[in-house]
Amino acid sequence: MKALDYSAVILVIIGAINWGLIGFLNFDLVSTLFGNATVFSRVVFAIVGICGLYSLSFLGRLSHE
């Protein structure tokens, strides 16, 4: 489970950095690397979103520790 947790956190961090770049510099790194609205860029955004939702489970685990 730890590998999944670390992978999810890394992808959430990448997503947060991308949103920071969009907010501060109007620069979308994912679209630059993979193309604007291509299937692959949409898959990347979807995976990052799923990891963000999965990361919500950390809150529940923190309250039990």
For 21, half-sphere exposure in the C-beta direction (CA atoms, 13 angstrom radius) is 12
pLDDT, tens only, 17-32: 999 999 999 999 999 9
Residue 60 is predicted with a pLDDT of 78
Q: What is the pLDDT of residue 64?
A: 66
Task: Tell which residue, 60, 34, 64, has the closest CA to residue 46.
Answer: 34
pLDDT surpasses 80 at 63: no
Residue 61: pLDDT above 90? no
Report the predicted TM-score, pTM, of the whole model to 2 decimal places. 0.78
**In percent, how much of the chain has pLDDT > 70?**
95
CA atoms of 22 and 31, how far apart (whole Å): 11
Take residue 29 and report the two structure tokens written for it: 């790194």
Q: How far apart are CA 50 and CA 37, in angstroms?
A: 18
